[in-house]
Amino acid sequence: MAQSMVNNGVNVDALLAAREALKGAPQAAKFTWRASCKWKNGTHSESKVQGFHGLGEEQKHKTEFSFEADHPEIFASEDLAPVEYVLVGLASCLTAGVAAVAQNRGIQLRSVEAKLEGSMDIQGILGIDSDVRNGYDDIKITFHIDADASRKDIEALVAQSQKRSAVYDIVANPTNVTVEVA
């Protein structure tokens, strides 16, 4: 494969160099990601993201990012913003991984689209039935990928992205969460 001709916009050389550098400096691989959230009114809130910690020091995104959330009208809220943030995080993490793995494997991508569906029985969050969980009982992601590669290679690409995805792991496996009042 003419790997040098492939350009998915991912700097794989820099990522491979970072991997080599961090092998000798495991403390630098310890990251802390942060967000803050302010209640606005009702179920409407605004969250902000900018600083994080990694490579042994404080880091900053180029700009501060802001995200509103709210409940839909059929939950008697104003629907000023959505609830589907976990699906967005999952979709974008797997998609970034597809691009990075494709670059590393010399596969030119033309288009990558993902459709996500998460099923949830809201008897859980409404407290109707304590045997029903609050969260998704199942999430399905379907990728449509147009690339210079066989179907088998495209499936292997998606499988490798899933294997290294932070958000897939957070959702699929239990993560310790502590909630405190200051």
Q: Is 2 or 174 the residue whose CB approaches a second copy more closely?
A: 174
CA 152 to CA 170: how far, in whole Å? Answer: 27
Please state, as a whole number, how many other Cβ atoms lie within 10 Å of the Cβ of residue 43: 18
CB of 101 to a second copy, least distance (A): 11
Q: Is 4 or 119 the residue whose CB approaches a second copy more closely?
A: 119
Q: Is 4 or 178 the residue whose CB approaches a second copy more closely?
A: 178
Query: Do 124 and 134 contact (CB within 8 A), yes or no?
Result: yes
CB of 3 to a second copy, least distance (A): 17
CB of 131 to a second copy, least distance (A): 12
- The first and second tokens of residue 106, run together, are 């010399």
CB of 4 to a second copy, least distance (A): 17
CA 105 to CA 6: how far, in whole Å? Answer: 9
165, containing H or E segment: none
Q: Is 1 or 15 the residue whose CB approaches a second copy more closely?
A: 15
